[in-house]
Amino acid sequence: MTSIVVVGSVNADLVARVPAQPEPGETVLADSMTVLAGGKGANQAVVAARLGGDVALVGAIGSDAFAAAALPGLRAAGVDLSAVATVPGPTGVALISVDDDGENTIVVVPGANAAVDADAVERHRDLVAGADVVVVQGEIPVPGSTAAARAARGRVLLNLAPVVPVPADVLALADPLVVNGGEAERLLAEADRPVSDSPLAVALELQALGPRSVVLTLGAAGAVVLEPGHDGGAPAGGTTSGPGVLGQPVVVPTPHVEAVDTTGAGDAFVGALAYRIAVGDSLVDAARVAVRVGAFSVATPGAQPSFPTAQDELPALRA
């Protein structure tokens, strides 16, 4: 069993199926609406646990009716919820529209996730410090993600989704920093770094910001992985020693699947990446599994209902 702690968001997802995404000012009639468990932190925890990880979540839910809808997937996956607090007020909610091409738009109302601050992390410092891998994202307050990264003694997976202004020392702890193309563009622009049309060049620019390693996700085009050069490699499941000598960017293709709903695909990738890192895979090998998990997830509607278990057969990588 592996030890992964996710410090992150817990939401109820309100998912509307629409023929096409509305233009600004346009009203579109939805075909259906469902309420599902979600939140980036919760989603990532569910994936890692379903694949076989020993996973705990540090987070918060509200005292409203949506709290009950936010937790069933976590419980079913066996995620340790002892560090998930119930706070007065609303649970976090994501308003999601999914069109006939499987593409989505998402608006997140943080709600109780605002309570996952530095004090919340401090209350569970021993849990965070004892993890092999600590996963944080941008859907909780920056002081919370900052405290979690600084408290971690294991490897820190920093998923800047959405992009939030983390301190330079936290970015330097990221091993890896995981962002998609749009997030990378915003992160580089805010740092006054050039933004290239080449994903390989973007990965190199991201590494120049200071993280120990980088994973740039590209949707159906796969991912680019950039690790520092090593003599003999990093210890299994351990952290690297710092930026060091740059390795060569590695392009990891993704399987070709018919997308039904891309909601949660990025979280599926991150959760799988965290699990494979925790069991000792290199970052490239972990990404090769993670793209397959992400591809599996887009073939089924919803986020958590679409995530595989260790027994599911994943789509094969393209040659």
The per-residue pLDDT for range 50-82, each reduced to its tens digit, is 999 999 999 999 999 999 999 999 999 999 999
Name the residue type at position 178: V
Structural domain harbouring 180: 3-306
Cβ atoms of residues 135 and 44 within 8 Å: yes
280: phi > 0 → left, psi -120 to 50 → alpha, else beta; which? left
The pTM assigned to this predicted structure is 0.88
Domain membership flag for residue 212: yes
User: Per mean pLDDT, which range of 30-44, 48-62, 223-237 is the poorest?
Assistant: 223-237
Structure tokens at 144: 């919370």
The pLDDT value given to residue 116: 98
* pLDDT, mean of residues 139-149: 97
Flag whether 314 is in a domain: no
Would you state the pLDDT for residue 229? 62
Q: Is residue 224 part of a domain?
A: yes
Average pLDDT, the chain: 91
Q: Is residue 268 part of a domain?
A: yes
| Residue 68, domain member (yes or no) | yes
* DSSP assignment string, 158-202: EE-SS-----HHHHHHEEEEEEEHHHHHHHHHHTT----S-HHHH
pLDDT at 261 over 90: no
pLDDT at 23 exceeding the cut of 50: yes
Residue 317 domain-assigned (yes or no): no
In this structure, what CATH number is given to the domain that contains residue 111? 3.40.1190.20
Residue 136 pLDDT greater than 60, yes or no: yes
Tokens 């709600």 appear where?
A: 111
Q: Count the domains in the chain.
A: 1
Instruction: List % helix, strand, coil for the chain (3-state, nearest 5).
Output: 35, 25, 40
The pLDDT, as a whole number, for residue 238 is 41
The residues facing 251 across adjacent strands are 224
Contact 57, 67 (CB under 8 A): no
Whether residue 154 is contained in a domain is answered as yes
- Lowest model confidence (mean pLDDT) among 93-97, 164-168, 209-213, 314-318: 314-318
pLDDT tens, position by position, 102-113: 888 889 899 999
| Mean pLDDT value of segment 306-318 | 88
* Confidence class for position 233, pLDDT limits 50, 70, 90: very low
Q: What is the pLDDT of residue 319?
A: 61
pLDDT greater at residue 1 or residue 156: 156
pLDDT at site 145: 97
User: What integer pLDDT is reported at residue 258 of this predicted model?
Assistant: 86
Which tokens in the block code for residue 239? 């952290």
Question: Is residue 5 scored above 80 in pLDDT?
Answer: yes
How far from 114 is each of 127, 143, 145, 156, 302, CA to CA, in Å? 20, 10, 11, 21, 24
Assign 71 to helix, strand or coil: coil
Q: What Å distances lie between residue 44 and 9, 89, 195, CA to CA?
A: 10, 24, 28
Phi, psi angles (nearest 5°) of residue 118? -60, -35
User: Over 90: is that where the pLDDT of 263 sits?
Assistant: no
Predicted local distance difference test score (pLDDT) of residue 247? 73
Residue 311 located in a structural domain: no
Q: What is the pLDDT of residue 235?
A: 37
The catalytic site residues sit at: 267
Side-chain half-sphere CA neighbours of 242 within 13 A: 2
DSSP assignment letter at 285 = H
